[in-house]
Structure 1
Amino acid sequence: MAANVEIYTWSICPFCIRAKALLDRKGVDYTEYCLDGDEAGRAKMAQRANGRRSLPQIFIDDRHIGGCDDLHALNAQGKLDPLLAS
């Protein structure tokens, strides 16, 4: 069973594009919440992300992973694939 992956983004955010590209290369199905101009949505995301308002914010099975750099660091450490397989 594949993990439930959610990513909060802005359409023109280069870090969001980079994070989605990594997930796409891995063949991960994810739910994207594009927050362009949606302050209520961003506030909801920040609540889930322990107050972090920067984008992207990524969740795997409701666990807050962090942003683009955090996602790439997990991948470099070999820890991302096991999370995605859970």
Structure 2
Amino acid sequence: MAKVVMYVSGFCPYCAMAEKLLKSRGVEEIDKIRVDLHPEQRTEMIKKTGRRTVPQIYIGETHVGGYDDLAQLDQQGGITRLLST
């Protein structure tokens, strides 16, 4: 199964919804990077993704985007495809 990395902040309802969706698709482990506790990580996230909001989700090497992007990908069956690579 592909590695899942998610940039998050402490209280973020969209981060919680993204985690719940990923776990419902069989993801057991999510590498969470807390940008609220480590400002340098927010800078890294912005450089990598071009976005300032959390969550920012990677499945394997693919930047999925935020929660809305993840939910749309799920509707198209894309999460399962990415996880199997």
Q: CA deviation at 1:27?
A: 2.3
After superposition, give the CA deviation of every residue in 1:38-69 in whole Å (9 maximum; x if it has no partner): 221100011111x1011000011122110000
- Shift in Å at residue 37 of structure 1? 3.8
Instruction: Provide the secondary structure at the position in 2 that maps to 1:53.
Output: coil
What TM-score, normalized to structure 2? Answer: 0.90
Alignment of 1:31-46 (within 5 A): 31-46=31-46
Task: Give the letter aligned to residue 14 of structure 1.
Answer: P
Tell me, in whole angstroms, the C-alpha distance in 2 between the residues paired with 1:80 and 1:68. Answer: 12
Per the normalisation by structure 1, the TM-score is 0.89
Q: Percent identity?
A: 38
Structure 1 ranges of 4+ moved more than 3 A: none
- Aligned counterparts of 2:35 and 2:25: Cα–Cα separation in 1: 24
Question: Which stretch has the larger CA shift, 30-39 or 76-85?
Answer: 30-39
Distance 1:27 1:48 in 2: 26
Query: Which runs of no fewer than 5 residues in structure 2 stay unpaired?
Result: none
What CA distance in whole angstroms lies between the structure 2 residues aligned with 1:26 and 1:60?
A: 12
Q: Which runs of 5+ in 1 are unaligned?
A: none
Is this contact kept in 2: 1:48–1:64, CA < 8 A? no
Per the alignment, residue 56 of structure 2 pairs with: 57
